[in-house]
Amino acid sequence: MLLGAPGAGKGTQAKRIKEKYAIPQFSTGDILREEVENQTQLGLKAQGYMSRGQLVPDSLIIAMMRDRIDRDENRCGFVLDGFPRSVAQADALEKLLDELSWPLQAVVEITIDNESIVKRITNRRICSKCGADYNLIDKPPLPGDLCSVCNGSVVLRPDDNEQTIRTRLDVYDTQTKPLRDYYEARSLLRRVDGNQPVDEVFDSVIGILEGAAAGK
């Protein structure tokens, strides 16, 4: 499980973990954005909360994640990014994993200061077609805001403006940070410095995951 504030780098690392171990990645933000895009009932309910930077209600998220996790193909492992984000969600996950007898092996918190987050997120751009990640600092899109992978249009995520980011950071402090104590009490929490380059963050994360798998 990857914990961390908005923009800490959870999605970036989750994708690499998925590729390295060939396991599913469950990113609640991505799943919800797809539901919004497809205008499903869940997407219609979630849209307003997401654009305001607030958490989507626990009952919706818990049902959505239970449905995705409780499948036989996940028996060999999976990576969680952006879930749980509240104590109620963590309790629901713990209950589900207990029922399945699939113990949670590691919780990695990626830490980073708020000003770096605001800089990262206000400069982030994503391809509206294939989801490729760009940023205006060192990985800009092609001229005309086009994606170099699929030629789709590269846009600002609707919740990536500075005001909504500040709300997301407040929400993280009040509703998600208590999970530090929650997982520390279960001896599962490890921390990685998210200000390092992506490859170095990844090496640290992998070191923790392999240590946990070896029972260290």
Query: What is the footprint of ligand AP5 within residues 28-57 (CB under 6 A)?
Result: 28-29, 32, 49-50, 53-56
Omega before 197 within 30 of 0, i.e. cis? no
Measured torsion, CA atoms of residues 66, 33, 16, 55, in degrees rounded to the nearest 10: -60
Nearest approach in angstroms of CB 44 to ligand AP5 is 14
Q: Which residue is nearest to ligand AP5 (CB)?
A: 29
16 in contact with ligand AP5 (CB under 6 A): no
Q: Which parts of 80-99 interact with ligand AP5 (CB under 6 A)? A: 82-83, 85, 89
Query: Does 124 participate in catalysis according to the annotation?
Result: yes
Q: Three-class SS of residue 207?
A: helix
Output helix, strand, coil percentages for the chain, rounded to the nearest 5.
Answer: 50, 15, 35
DSSP 82-123: S---SHHHHHHHHHHHHHHT-----EEEEE--HHHHHHHHHH
Closest separation between CB of residue 214 and ligand AP5, Å? 25
- Report the C-alpha gap between 183 and 212 in whole angstroms: 14
Q: Which residues bind ligand AP5 (CB under 6 A)?
A: 4, 6-12, 28-29, 32, 49-50, 53-56, 61, 82-83, 85, 89, 120-121, 124, 133, 135, 159, 168, 194, 197-198, 201
Catalytically active residues, by annotation: 10, 85, 124, 157, 168
